Amino acid sequence: MITLLFFNSATTSAEEAATYNVVHLGANPDGKTDPTEAFLSAWTKACALAELAEIHMLQGRFKFTSGVIFKGPCANKAISITIDGAALWDCKRSSKEKCPIKATLLKFSNSKNIGISSIGSLGWTKKEPGVQHVTIRSVIFTGTQNGVRIKSWGRPSNGFVKGVTFQNATMVDVKNPILIDQNYCPSKKNCHGQESGIKISDISYEDIHGTSATQVVMRFDCSSTNPCKGIRLEDIKLTYRNQVAQASCKHVGIRDMESVQPERC
């Protein structure tokens, strides 16, 4: 699952959000029919509200023929977009041309304060599609519970997360600025004491600066049976008040570190 959050600093968690399911607006999760029209319809409705709104693209396969452009400005305080299905896109191929490895699925036009709240929660079921080739760029987190985060349930799974880049992020008094949590089990039921089967690899953190509300500013709590691999850190500077900031690492392989504060796990 990927959750995108279009937010305003005035957002309050106590407010109830209006919900738009793209399937209810005409999207067909058959892996053949382009859902762009339904997606844009949901965005237009959510954008016009003066209250919080959620857009859901739930289980199924949604095949886009091109990228989706979300246009602002919006009247409301926050729009979250939850993708909990398989998002596909067309790739036309000729005898001389190869399909690109990456494609842009979502774009935001005339919009600001776009944040990625999390990649997760992954691994609740054993058979689950993977998440790959995701780039999160130019975001600001202010007073949030988490910054850039990947989380998975502590349960067996054949899913994966790979090829993710978090780039150019500013943290302002954030409790968990950089976080990988592979032991997610908030109720301690149906997963407590188990190991996450999600395989996390090739994750890059670049140009991330700001302040933390907690002393541990980077926390990599990875699975002992499926350690995180290929973690890359470059140009990281996170501070905690007037104290020394710390990093916590469990079962993680750091591929490269360049200009990182705090320096060591």
For residue 16, give the amino acid letter. E
How many angstroms separate the Cα of 74 from the Cα of each of 13, 40, 45, 106, 226? 19, 13, 10, 17, 42
Residue 234, CB-side half-sphere exposure with 13 Å CA sphere: 11
d(CA 40, CA 17): 18
Is the pLDDT confidence value at 190 over 50? yes
d(CA 250, CA 255): 15
- 128 — pLDDT class (breaks 50, 70, 90): confident
Given this structure, which CATH class describes domain 116-265?
Answer: mainly beta
What are the residue ranges spanned by the domains of the chain? 1-92+99-112, 116-265
Of the two residues 6 and 214, the one the predictor is more confident about is 214
Helices (H) and strands (E) in the chain, counts: 1, 18
d(CA 259, CA 218): 14
Contacts of 262 (CB under 8 A, 6+ apart): 217, 218, 238, 244, 245, 246, 247
Is the pLDDT confidence value at 252 over 80? yes
- The residue among 180, 159, 168 whose CA lies nearest residue 135 is 168
In degrees and rounded to multiples of 5, residue 46 shows phi and psi of: -65, -40
Q: What mean pLDDT do residues 58-83 have? A: 76
Among 111-115, 146-150, 153-157, the range scoring the smallest mean pLDDT is: 111-115
Q: pTM here?
A: 0.66
Six token digits for residue 258 = 């360049």
Query: Is residue 179 within 8 Å of residue 146, measured between CB atoms?
Result: yes
Check the CA dihedral 75-6-81-34 and report its sign: positive
Query: What b-and-e string marks burial along 119-153, b requiring 16 or more CB atoms within 10 Å of the CB?
Result: bbbbbbeeebeebeebebeebbbeebebbbbbbbb
Contacts of 118 (CB under 8 A, 6+ apart): 2, 3, 146, 149, 150, 151
Is the pLDDT confidence value at 74 over 90? no
Is the pLDDT confidence value at 16 over 70? no
